[in-house]
Structure 1
């Protein structure tokens, strides 16, 4: 197990540079999808760009070690699948989390005082509503370019890891 844990920790340069590159790819994906759908004619394009950029930026340092841990000493198909699933899951989850926190910040002005039972219910259901809304509307911004980037990045990572 120590070999597996050691192999799961990538060099800091891979974490930093990879996070920036992955975030730029997801930013381009969201930008292209917005352009295809409405020629970027939305008043929230800068906020959406930041949301997808920071969601991917935060996802990379979590997804990479997780996938490397799973893919340790496996065949290339398994490594590809590990990177594909980890990158997809962490990117979607962290982008949805950031969307939910932004959604929560907007609706918090009408919520009960912090710490009350009512506040707890409002927090949970506001977050659940935001995640649902993101899954219905926000996941589309990862298509079509995001899926291609996911395939390409997963393939490159699977080939690099031995």
Structure 2
């Protein structure tokens, strides 16, 4: 059987997603404790947000990295894993933030229901994603870098 056609099992994807989501939740928790000394009212919400982003971003990252670099040398597999994990974890977390932003602000804009509703959803989703990218991405650093390197190494070994 060709290695390129072998799909990872659902269990492996689920376990990897849970581990990566937990790693991202721990990252934001450590960074909140370090930078804000725990002085925030939204700790549980932020930990849940980053967990959901890591959970949602891991499986597509693994599948795309496998598609890009399955038959390549080990360094290419590590690089592909690193790049896919960074992009898809941040994108998934930004999307989860945009959805929660839309849900929480929908109560304040009852006139948004109607023909303008799709434009309102799109504009607030873009604004929320940008807001997360500017202000929320900092919580992945510096704790997330060693975890990202370790996960990229483990994914590269699993891609062979």
Q: TM-score, normalised by structure 2?
A: 0.92
Superposition deviation, residue 34 in structure 1: 0.6
Partner of 2:68: 70
Partner of 1:46: 44
Q: Indicate the SS of the match to 2:111.
A: coil
Partner of 2:103: 105
Partner of 1:125: 123
| Whole-angstrom distance in 1 between the partners of 2:110 and 2:136 | 25
Deviation per CA, 1:95-147: give whole Å up to 9, x if none. 0000001111122121534341x222211111111011101110011011112
Q: Indicate the SS of the match to 1:112.
A: helix
The answer to whether the 8 A contact 1:15-1:61 is kept is yes
Task: Let me know the Cα RMSD of the aligned residues.
Answer: 1.5
| Whole-angstrom distance in 1 between the partners of 2:125 and 2:69 | 33
Superposition deviation, residue 13 in structure 1: 2.5
| Whole-angstrom distance in 1 between the partners of 2:125 and 2:54 | 19
The partner residue of 1:59 within 57, 60, 70 is: 57
The answer to whether the 8 A contact 1:111-1:122 is kept is no
Partner of 2:148: 150
| Whole-angstrom distance in 1 between the partners of 2:49 and 2:85 | 16
The partner residue of 1:93 within 91, 94, 114 is: 91
Gaps of 5+ in 1: none
| Whole-angstrom distance in 1 between the partners of 2:3 and 2:47 | 39
| Whole-angstrom distance in 1 between the partners of 2:23 and 2:106 | 32
Deviation per CA, 1:25-81: give whole Å up to 9, x if none. 101110111111111211110000000001111111211111111111101111011
Q: TM-score, normalised by structure 1?
A: 0.91
Partner of 1:137: 135
